[in-house]
Amino acid sequence: WQLVESGGGSVEAGGSLRLSCQVSRSTYSVGCMGWFRQAPGKEREGVAATWLGGTTAHVADSVKGRFTISQDSAKKTVYLQMNHLTPEDTAMYYCVFDSGPCKIGNDATRWEFTHWGQGTQVTVS
C-alpha cells in the first residue's frame, strides 16, 4: 500500500496551497495521519496530524493559525490547508501514517510515524 500525495507547487508569499494525501490500496481505515516537512539544511519537523476516522487534530506551533488539517475518512484522505505562506514554509512536505495511536508532542521534531510518502515540494517566493 502507499501514501499518494498531491497539491505541492510554487506560490508567492501570502498565498495558499492545499496538500492532499490518500492511503491507497490499504485495509487500514483508522490510524494517525499527517504531514512532516523538511527544508534544506534544517531538521525534519512535524506540521500537523489527525486521527483518521476521528476528530482529533494537532497542528505544530510553528504553523498554528495558518495551517489546518482536515480529512475525508471515507476516502482515507487528509488535507493540509496552508494559508499566509512565507518563504520559511518552503520545504519538501511528506505525508505520514501510523496504524497506532498518534505519537506526537510539543516537540514536532520528535513525532513518530511508521510510513512515509515520497514527498511533494512546496516553494514560496
pLDDT of amino acid 56: 87
Phi-psi region of 119 (alpha: psi -120 to 50; beta: other; left: phi over 0): left
The DSSP code for 82 is: E
| Three-class SS state of 87 | helix
The DSSP code for 112 is: B
pLDDT of amino acid 28: 73
The DSSP code for 40 is: T
Q: Are 8 and 19 in contact (CB under 8 A)?
A: yes
pLDDT of amino acid 29: 74
Whether the per-residue pLDDT at 1 is higher than 80: the answer is: no
pLDDT of amino acid 30: 83
The bridge status of strand 120-124 relative to strand 9-11 is: parallel
Could you report the per-residue pLDDT of 62-74, keeping only the tens digit for each? Answer: 999 999 999 999 9
Could you report the per-residue pLDDT of 17-38, keeping only the tens digit for each? Answer: 999 999 987 777 789 999 999 9
Could you report the per-residue pLDDT of 56-107, keeping only the tens digit for each? Answer: 899 999 999 999 999 999 999 999 999 999 999 999 999 999 998 899 988 9
Whether the per-residue pLDDT at 119 is higher than 90: the answer is: yes
- Edge-to-edge order in the sheet of strand 17-24: 2-6, 17-24, 77-82, 67-72
